[in-house]
Amino acid sequence: MINMSQNQTRSGNTVPGSIAQIGIITKYTFLDYFRSRRFLVLVVITALIGILLTAAIGYYRPQALIADSLSFYSSWWGNITTFVIILTGIFFGGDAISGEFQNKTGYFSIPNPIRRSSIYVGKFLAALIASTLILAIFTVITIGNGLYYFPSGIPSQFGESLLFSWITLLRFSASRSFSVQSSRVAPYPSS
How far apart are the C-alpha atoms of 17 and 136, rounded to whole Å? 32
Q: Which pLDDT value is given to residue 14? A: 78
Assess if residue 10 is contained within a domain. Answer: no
| 52 within a domain of the structure (yes/no) | yes
**Alpha-carbon distances of 49 from 31, 97, 136, 137, 184, rounded to whole Å:** 25, 29, 14, 11, 39
Domain of residue 44: give its range: 18-57+67-179
Within a domain: 122? yes
Residue 129 in domain: yes
CA 179/CA 175 separation, integer angstroms: 6
pLDDT per residue as tens, the chain (191 positions): 444 445 555 666 777 888 998 998 899 889 988 998 989 999 999 999 999 999 999 999 999 888 899 999 998 998 899 999 988 888 876 665 556 656 666 656 556 677 878 888 888 899 899 999 999 999 999 999 999 999 999 999 999 999 999 999 888 877 766 654 444 444 444 44
Within a 10 A sphere around the Cβ of 19, how many other Cβ atoms?
A: 10
Report yes or no on 94 lying in a domain.
yes
Quick check: is 109 in a domain? yes
Q: Residues 123, 29: contact at Cβ < 8 Å?
A: yes
3 state DSSP class of 155? coil
Q: What is the pLDDT of residue 131?
A: 92
Q: Is residue 51 part of a domain?
A: yes
144 in a domain, yes or no? yes
Does residue 21 contact residue 112 with C-beta atoms inside 8 Å?
A: no
The pLDDT, as a whole number, for residue 183 is 44
Threshold 0.85, pTM exceeds: no
Distance, CA of 177 to CA of 60 (rounded, Å): 40
Q: If you write DSSP's letter for every residue of 6-73 in order, what string do you get?
A: TTB-TTSPBPP-HHHHHHHHHHHHHHHHHHSHHHHHHHHHHHHHHHHHHHHHHHH--TTTSSSHHHHH
Note the pLDDT of residue 182: 47
Tally the domains of the chain.
1
